[in-house]
Structure 1
C-alpha cells in the first residue's frame, strides 16, 4: 500500500512538472466544436489571467459561435476570434475580417517564457503589444520568433488532429481563407 501511494505521488509530481500534461480543471477548459469534432484547450490563467478572463467572458456570451478561421497558414497557425467581422451567420465581412475585436476592449500584454510550439494557443494582436482583444491562434508547428512577443493563453489538450483539418488559406495572401471553416460553438467545460 505504501508503494502505491508513493508511485501515485510520483505520477502526480511528474504530471505537474510536465505542465499541461494534466487536464485543466473544467473552469479553465475551453471546448471548440469544429466540423469534425471537439477540440479541448487548457486555458492558462497562471500565464495570462486578464486574457483568459476576457476569453471566458466572450465564450460565455456566445461571441465565438460561428466565427471563421479567417487566416490559416500551413506549417504555422490557424487564426480565429474576430467577433466583430468574423461571424459567418451574422455580419461576416470578408474585407474586414481579421481587423475587428469585441466590445470588451483591448488587454495589455501578458508575455511569458512559455514557448510557441505545436498546440500552443496565443492571442493575436496588431503591432502594439497591448492591442490583443478577441482574436487568437492555434499553432501547427513551433515558431520561436513569437516567444516572448505574444501572449500564450492555453494549450490544446485533445483534438489537435481536428485543428490540422482546418481549411488552409492562400499563402500568397498571408493565409487569407476563402469560404473559411468556423468554430461552430465554443463553451467552457464547467458550464
Structure 2
C-alpha cells in the first residue's frame, strides 16, 4: 500500500499502485499538453526527473539533491499533526522531489484518496492533487529500491504504476504491518503518534471502491500544510 503475506498480496499490490497511475497513463495525456515543468529532463546531477507529457505548473526538482541525512517534515492534517523523517541518504532523488513539492506548497489542501483496512495490508495513500488516484506533478521520479525493503507500520513509501520509475507525488503511509513485494521506494518513516492517528481514522472504515476494506476513507484526511522543518 509481511513476508508470509507476500504471495497472497500480489493481486492487491497492483491495486495499491496501479490505482495510483500517474496521469501520463490516461487517454487524454499527450506530449503536446506539457506546458511545465520543462521540455526536457534535468541532467545536471544524479537525479533525472522525466516530464510525463501532462500539463502541470509544478517546477522540476533540481537534479542535484538539496538535502542529505535525516530530513524532518511536519504535515498538518485534518486528523492531527503528522511527523515524518525523510531519509535522504537512502532515497536521495525521492526525498529531493518530495522536499521540492512541499516547498512549492503542492500538497497543501490535498486529501488522501485511498485507505486499506484489511489485516496484513493497511496503508493510507495520499499525494494526489486530483484526489482520484490518477494525478501527479507532471514528471516521474526514478525508483530507489534494492529488493531488501520491508514495510512495517510507520513506513513512508512511494506509490507508482507498473513501471518502477513511474513514481510521482503519490505516497503511502503504512499504519499496520503490511506484506508487499520489496519493489516500492521507502523514503522515510512517520512517528508512532502519526500511526495512531491514521489507525484511529481507519476505525471509521472506507467507502468501498475496490472492496469492502479498500476505498476512500470515511474520515477524510486532508493536508492543510506540509513543511520541511
**TM-score when scaled to structure 1?**
0.72
2:215 to 160, 173, 176: 176
How do residues 130-169 of structure 1 correspond to structure 2 at under 5 angstroms?
A: 130-146=165-181, 148-159=182-193, 160-166=195-201, 168-169=205-206
User: CA deviation digits over 1:125-151, x for unaligned, max 9?
Assistant: 0111110000000002222323x2100
SS of corresponding position for 2:142: coil
SS of corresponding position for 1:54: helix
Contact kept? 1:124, 1:132, Cα under 8 Å? yes
User: CA deviation digits over 1:42-79, x for unaligned, max 9?
Assistant: 10112111000000000010010111110001141000
Contact kept? 1:120, 1:152, Cα under 8 Å? yes
How do residues 1-191 of structure 1 correspond to structure 2 at under 5 angstroms?
A: 28-74=71-117, 75=119, 76-83=122-129, 85-86=130-131, 97-103=132-138, 105-112=139-146, 113-146=148-181, 148-159=182-193, 160-166=195-201, 168-171=205-208, 173-174=210-211, 175-177=214-216, 180-189=220-229
SS of corresponding position for 2:189: strand
Instruction: Between 163-172 and 121-130, report the one with greater CA deviation.
Output: 163-172
Unaligned runs of 5+ in 1: 1-24, 87-96
Unaligned runs of 5+ in 2: 1-67
1:158–1:187 CA distance, 2 compared to 1 (3 A): farther
CA RMSD in angstroms, aligned pairs only: 2.2
CA distance in 2, matches of 1:178, 1:140: 14
Contact kept? 1:122, 1:150, Cα under 8 Å? yes
Equivalent pairs, count = 152
SS of corresponding position for 1:53: helix
1:64–1:166 CA distance, 2 compared to 1 (3 A): farther
Q: Which has the higher helix share?
A: 1
SS of corresponding position for 1:67: coil
Q: Which has the higher contact order (CA 8 A, sep 6+)?
A: 1
CA distance in 2, matches of 1:128, 1:107: 11
